[in-house]
């Protein structure tokens, strides 16, 4: 986002559907840039409950034949995207730079081809929910395995601290 090289630890903004597909489609961020994004992005900040109904297609072109807007072209869409759908939960996942790679996952029943950062086999250093899904969208949301991971971590931390306190009275 800021254009500076990434550090040893970086942040990915991901949704449960990204995790299920195994690809983070948003670029990696410095922790400071992630902090800014959580506040400046209307989706991450929770100010909107639906994705843009128009998606990435331009809303209008001007009448000037010399204007560069004539090069705008709607993205080819081979399968339905998230345009107009209820917002999913968003998470920030901290990973090591060594795990940051770019690849393309092919189109399948879960979505179109996507280029991003692989999530399979990547150890999250930290995982934190940034925003909840849109209200009244439970039936239209994918399974939120990321929430289950956070709950399991908290459970194991509680069990570990209980074991330590019993072992060292």
How many domains is the chain partitioned into structurally?
1
30 falls within a domain: yes
Which pLDDT score is estimated for 163? Answer: 56
**What's the pLDDT at 168?**
46
The structure tokens listed for 146 are 């990321």
pLDDT value, residue 73: 56
What local confidence, expressed as pLDDT, does residue 77 receive?
Answer: 47
Answer whether residue 149 is part of any domain: no
Whether 165 is in a domain gets the answer: no
pLDDT at 110: 80
- CA 34 to chain centroid: 11
Looking at residue 80, its pLDDT comes to 52
All residues at 6 or more sequence positions from 105 whose CB lies less than 8 Å from its CB, including other chains: 21, 22, 23, 113, 114, 115, 116
- Of 78, 16, 79, 86, which is closest to residue 53 (Cα–Cα)? 86
Task: Give pLDDT, residue 78.
Answer: 41
| Domain around 23 | 9-142
Residue 42 and residue 20: Cα distance in Å, rounded? Answer: 24
Q: What is the DSSP letter of 54?
A: T
**pLDDT for 169:** 45
Cα–Cα dist 118/97, whole Å:
12
Contact (Cβ atoms closer than 8 angstroms) between residue 31 and residue 9: yes
Predicted TM-score (pTM) of this structure: 0.75
Q: Which residue has the tokens 């399979």?
A: 120
Distance between CA atoms of 157 and 164, rounded to whole angstroms? 10
**Which of 92, 101, 103, 99 minimizes the C-alpha distance to 130?**
92
Looking at residue 65, its pLDDT comes to: 78
Please indicate, yes or no, if residue 159 is contained in any of the structural domains: no
Which stretches of the chain drop beneath a pLDDT of 70?
53-61, 70-81, 137-140, 160-169
pLDDT tens-place string over residues 106-148: 998 888 899 999 999 999 999 999 999 988 766 667 788 899 8
Is 37 within the bounds of a domain? Answer: yes
158 within domain boundaries: no
Spell 59-86 as b/e; 16+ CB within 10 A means b.
eeeeeeeeeeeeeeeeeeeeeeeeeeeb
pLDDT of residue 16: 94
Q: Where are the beta strands (DSSP E) in 3-144?
A: 9-14, 23-24, 90-96, 103-105, 114-118, 126-131
Q: What pLDDT is attached to residue 52?
A: 78
Residue 28 belongs to a domain: yes
2 occurs within a structural domain: no
């Amino acid at each position: 986002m800021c254009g500076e090289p990434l550090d040893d630890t970086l942040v990915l903004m991901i949704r449960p559907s990204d995790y299920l597909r195994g690809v983070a489609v948003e670029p990696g961020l410095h922790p400071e840039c992630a902090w800014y994004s959580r506040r400046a992005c209307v989706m991450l900040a929770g100010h909107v409950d639906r994705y843009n109904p128009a998606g990435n297609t331009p809303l209008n072109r001007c009448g000037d034949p010399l204007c560069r807007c004539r090069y705008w072209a709607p993205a080819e869409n081979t399968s339905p995207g998230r345009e107009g759908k209820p917002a999913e939960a968003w998470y920030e996942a901290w990973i090591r730079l060594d795990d940051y790679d770019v690849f393309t996952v092919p189109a399948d029943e879960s979505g179109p081809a996507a280029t991003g950062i692989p999530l399979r086999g990547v150890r999250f250093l930290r995982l934190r929910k940034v925003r909840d899904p849109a209200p009244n969208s439970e039936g239209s949301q994918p399974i939120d395995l990321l929430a289950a991971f956070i709950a399991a971590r908290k459970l194991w931390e509680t069990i570990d601290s209980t074991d330590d306190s019993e072992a060292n009275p």
